[in-house]
Structure 1
């Protein structure tokens, strides 16, 4: 069964994961792991990159929501002019 999420729920999940990763990145244990010369990824990624990606995705969704509302208001305004 497929679960349906609202945009607000999607935004909350993204923000929650971002905050969780920020808390993880601030722990001494994680900082020690990431500072290790053996810590490597195929694209030289760090946890900060994942945090930044989640932030940018969150912002992109907010932009979509904002412009959808603006377009809706513009369409309602234009409709009122033609009636």
Structure 2
């Protein structure tokens, strides 16, 4: 991380997401980015549960697994639920 670059870059399948941390001390920035990572973990766990439920309800359709597709705007909106 260069001087003044307080951001977390994630490359997900189909998306490249950049989270810019608010200005503050480096420890505040680290806490903010760790908190953001924790929110991602919660979302990923929820998506895994949804996929598991879909597998039980629908089963496999012609060998294709049901998938949850979310674009960058939907991901940002879902993160806003966590504050």
The TM-score by the shorter chain falls in which range? 0.3 to 0.5
Greater C-alpha radius of gyration: 1
The structure with more strand, counted as a fraction of residues: 2
TM-score, normalising length from structure 1? 0.42
The structure with more helix, counted as a fraction of residues: 1
Between 1 and 2, higher relative CO (CA 8 Å, sep ≥ 6) is seen in 1
TM-score, normalising length from structure 2? 0.42
